[in-house]
Amino acid sequence: IMKIKIEHLLQNIKDFKAGTKIELTGTIYTARDQAHKRLVELLNSGKELPIQLKNACIYYCGPCPNAPDKIIGSCGPTTSSRMDVYTPKMLDNGVKILIGKGKRSKDVFDSIQKNKAIYLLATGGVGALIAEKVKSFKLIAFEDLGPEAIYEIKVEDFPLIVGIDCNGNSLFNL
């Protein structure tokens, strides 16, 4: 298992092959389908976005409320295919790292290749354990969406597996 910072992953994205296990450290944004819908609407209307998409790392997650002694509640991945309708537009606008669970559509697979991005898999069902990897948590945008709002989280040694690499390799049958 490779321990890696997001900046290093971005600089060397072509070197990370499907199946590689990593522990990622850095800043990521949570966003599920409703947040994606709003971001794409803002992009389509030419309005300012609440986050910088260039080189962004998006985690498909809706964090649970935290207990008083915790930074964040359970924060496991949601099913990535729910974002597939929005993902090519997000990738075309600079997103480089996607984190979620499950298979992606052929359009998303093709867009990952075109944009030299990467899709990382988080393990479902272990949201409480993943929460222990979160070092900070703050609301960024769309507060009215509750857990589906966009949050900035800083993670340390977040366990992931490369599901689709930028060279056209995948752990899924597409």
Would you please indicate which residues are annotated as catalytic (active-site) residues? 36
DSSP label of 64 = P
pLDDT digits (tens, 9 = 90+) for 98-125: 999 999 999 999 999 999 999 999 998 8
The strand pairing partners of 25, in sequence order, are: 5
Whether the model clears a pTM of 0.85, i.e. scores above it, the answer is: yes
In order of 40, 72, 97, 131, 144, the CA distances from 68 in angstroms are 34, 9, 31, 14, 22
The pLDDT value recorded for residue 174 is: 61
Considering only CA atoms, which of 22, 24, 18 is closest in space to residue 1?
Answer: 22
Q: Is 102 left (phi over 0), alpha (psi -120 to 50) or beta?
A: left
Considering only CA atoms, which of 64, 66, 118 is closest in space to residue 96?
Answer: 118
The pLDDT value recorded for residue 9 is: 97
- Collect the ranges in the chain with pLDDT lower than 70: 174
If DSSP states are collapsed to H, E and C, what string results for 76-102? CECEHHHHCCCHHHHHHCCCCEEEEEC
Half-sphere exposure of 125 (CA within 13 A, CB side): 1
